[in-house]
Amino acid sequence: MIYIGADHGGFGLKEKLKEFLTTAKIEFMDVGNFKLDMDDDYVDFVEKVVMGVKSDLKNNLGIVICRSGVGSAMVANKHDDIMAANVTTALMAEKSRMDNNANILALGGDYLDPNTA
């Protein structure tokens, strides 16, 4: 299962990624935000993704999205058993998973277009 969450800075990209995951028949759970809310805080959604990933570390992965991806990665990495990588290319994502065992991708909504993400 892939848990995905984003604040207002990543909301648009999250919605596009959900379309891709649905089309690819990849199981995911959206943990919010469920509407564009300029007053939300990425920390709330990172925590939900982290809890989802930690519920089954062998099988679950996560995606967190904020404006830059940096803050989301920092919050996620405060948790035991979580390795979040802020990535900007598909190769970075692949290497983060294969070489560093990253279990959460942190993406920047201001820096990635949906096709790259």
Q: Would you name the residues annotated as active-site residues?
A: 66
Rg (CA), the chain: 13
* Residue of 112, 109, 39, 47 whose CA lies nearest to 82: 47
